[in-house]
């Protein structure tokens, strides 16, 4: 599975850890930045990642920032993106099962590295349930 990952400065350290962990576990991952802990504007990194996922260049995306709200709001401006904010693994499962989320947003200031890995693992290994949820997902786009 090809993955896209990105963050702002608040998520940089956790992104670096996740990037290595994902690669060590056999995933092909492209880092959309940022590439340091210097303050940046998160939309500069979110829009290119979301566009690449929307175009089908990557199966799923992972975004990190302090609260994960900014990256989630920005990613969801793209018609083909269903980004969900997950602060624990069960939420990551639900955004896949019920919403067919293709981007997970992780609040780096509020979850430790172990929890972040568990969130990403659940997001990558949970299938969309379809059925009644498909009908709802079909109604999301404007």
**What does the pLDDT profile of the chain (142 residues) look like in tens digits?**
999 999 999 999 999 999 999 999 999 999 999 999 999 999 999 999 999 999 999 999 999 999 999 999 999 999 999 999 999 999 999 999 999 999 999 999 999 999 999 999 999 999 998 899 999 999 998 8
CA distance 46 to 38: 16
* Residue 132 assigned as binding residue: yes
CA distance 136 to 1: 26
pLDDT recorded at residue 142: 83
* Residue 31 assigned as binding residue: no
Task: Report pTM.
Answer: 0.97
Catalytic amino acids? 65, 98
pLDDT recorded at residue 62: 98
CATH 3.40.50.300 fits 2-137, yes or no: no
What per-residue string of b and e applies to 62-75 under the rule 16 or more CB within 10 Å gives b? Answer: bbbbbbbebbbebb
* Residue 60 assigned as binding residue: no
What is the distance of C-alpha 92 from the center of its chain?
10
From start to end of 16-55, where are the E strands? 28-31
pLDDT recorded at residue 141: 85
To which H or E segment does residue 19 belong?
Answer: helix 12-24
């Amino acid at each position: 599975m090809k993955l896209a990952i990105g963050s702002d400065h608040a998520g940089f350290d956790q992104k670096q850890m996740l990037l290595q962990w994902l690669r060590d576990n056999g995933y092909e991952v492209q880092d959309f930045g940022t590439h340091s802990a210097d303050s940046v504007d998160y939309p500069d990194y979110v829009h290119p990642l979301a566009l690449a996922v929307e175009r089908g260049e990557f199966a799923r995306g992972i975004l990190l920032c302090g609260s994960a709200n900014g990256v989630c709001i920005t990613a969801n401006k793209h018609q083909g993106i269903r980004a969900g904010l997950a602060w624990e693994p069960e939420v990551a499962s639900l955004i896949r099962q019920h919403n067919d989320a293709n981007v997970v947003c992780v609040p780096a200031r509020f979850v430790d590295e172990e929890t972040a890995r568990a969130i990403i693992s659940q997001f990558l290994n949970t299938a969309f349930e379809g059925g009644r949820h498909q009908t709802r997902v079909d109604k999301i786009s404007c």
